[in-house]
């Protein structure tokens, strides 16, 4: 494997080098280096925002959560321990805590079957039709998936978002969620089943409407 300078590196060294660069940038940012902070922000902001958006379904909440993550990092950079993992994993952990607090404050009166609000995360649906006449249908299907993901119970939603949408390994997802790998596997299995059941229900709606005409 080659690094950005074209030199040979062993598998895993790229991740180690990235972690070291994050650590250096964090130390510089903690001393008031605004450029270092800006680079850290650009490096991690997009993934954190995507995770928060897919978990909350709210762009406003996702922006607030990401801002809070980086404010927390700068207020107390010593909370990050490089021996326990990468800075990215640490930031995901902080973000997860903020997301869970946000979700706990939401009303809980709408059930999985009844709820219908916008979200994000259509990446797990394969789209293989690209003719102009099918764009409206594609968009509707994406919206259905986004809504269905958002409607999953929190622990199952988190497993689906981390493993399917963020494409984390079981180990990475377990570290982020703070639970054993077996728990992540179980939650992902259950989340997939619920998601497929919800999408099948949505597909049956137009069929029943057509049959009734």
State both tokens at 48: 């954190």
99 vs 20, residue with greater confidence: 99
- Work out the average pLDDT over 188-195: 86
Write out pLDDT tens, residues 29-47. Answer: 888 888 888 899 999 999 9
Q: Are 165 and 121 in contact (CB under 8 A)?
A: yes
Give the three-state DSSP class for 2.
Answer: strand
Is residue 2 pLDDT above 70, yes or no? no
At 137, the pLDDT band (50, 70, 90 cuts) reads low
Distance CA 148, CA 120 (A): 10
Q: Are 25 and 39 in contact (CB under 8 A)?
A: yes
Calculate ∠ Cα 170-41-184, nearest 5°: 15
Determine the distance from the C-alpha atom of residue 101 to the mean position of all C-alpha atoms in its chain, rounded to a whole number: 16
Compute the half-sphere exposure of residue 98: CA atoms within 13 Å on the CB side of its CA: 23
Is residue 136 pLDDT above 80, yes or no? no
Is residue 138 pLDDT above 70, yes or no? no
- For the domain made up of 1-106, give the CATH fold: Rna Polymerase Sigma Factor; Chain: A (1.10.1740)
pLDDT of residue 48: 94
Is residue 164 pLDDT above 90, yes or no? no
Distance CA 173, CA 166 (A): 9
CA distance readout (Å), 100 to 14, 34, 56, 155, 181? 32, 30, 9, 10, 20
Is residue 141 pLDDT above 50, yes or no? yes
At 130, the pLDDT band (50, 70, 90 cuts) reads very low
At 204, the pLDDT band (50, 70, 90 cuts) reads low
Helix (H) or strand (E) holding 174: helix 170-177
Among 72, 66, 65, 14, residue whose Cα is nearest residue 41: 66
E strand segments, 11-128: none
Domain boundaries, the chain: 1-106, 113-213
Q: What is the CATH number of domain 113-213?
A: 1.10.10.10
Calculate ∠ Cα 110-116-117, nearest 5°: 105
pLDDT of residue 73: 87
48 vs 201, residue with greater confidence: 48
Mean pLDDT of the chain: 75
At 97, the pLDDT band (50, 70, 90 cuts) reads very high
């Amino acid at each position: 494997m080659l690094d950005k300078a074209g030199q040979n590196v062993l598998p895993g060294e790229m991740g180690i080098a990235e972690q070291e660069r994050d650590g250096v940038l964090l130390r510089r940012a903690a001393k008031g280096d605004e450029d270092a902070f800006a680079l850290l922000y650009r490096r991690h902001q997009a993934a954190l925002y995507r995770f928060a958006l897919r978990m909350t379904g709210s762009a406003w909440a996702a922006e607030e959560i990401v801002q809070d993550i980086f404010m927390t990092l700068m207020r107390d950079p010593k909370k990050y321990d490089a021996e326990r993992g990468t800075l990215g994993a640490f930031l995901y952990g902080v973000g997860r805590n903020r997301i869970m607090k946000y979700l706990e404050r939401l009303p809980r009166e709408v059930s999985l079957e009844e709820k219908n609000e916008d979200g994000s995360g259509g990446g797990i649906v394969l789209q293989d039709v690209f003719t102009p006449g099918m764009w409206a249908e594609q968009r509707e299907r994406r919206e259905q998936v986004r809504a269905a993901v958002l409607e999953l119970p929190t622990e199952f939603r988190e497993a689906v978002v981390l493993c399917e949408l963020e494409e984390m390994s079981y180990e990475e997802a377990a570290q982020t969620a703070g639970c054993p790998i077996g728990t992540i596997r179980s939650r992902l299995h259950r989340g997939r089943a619920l998601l497929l059941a919800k999408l099948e229900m949505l597909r049956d709606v137009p069929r029943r409407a057509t049959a009734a005409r």
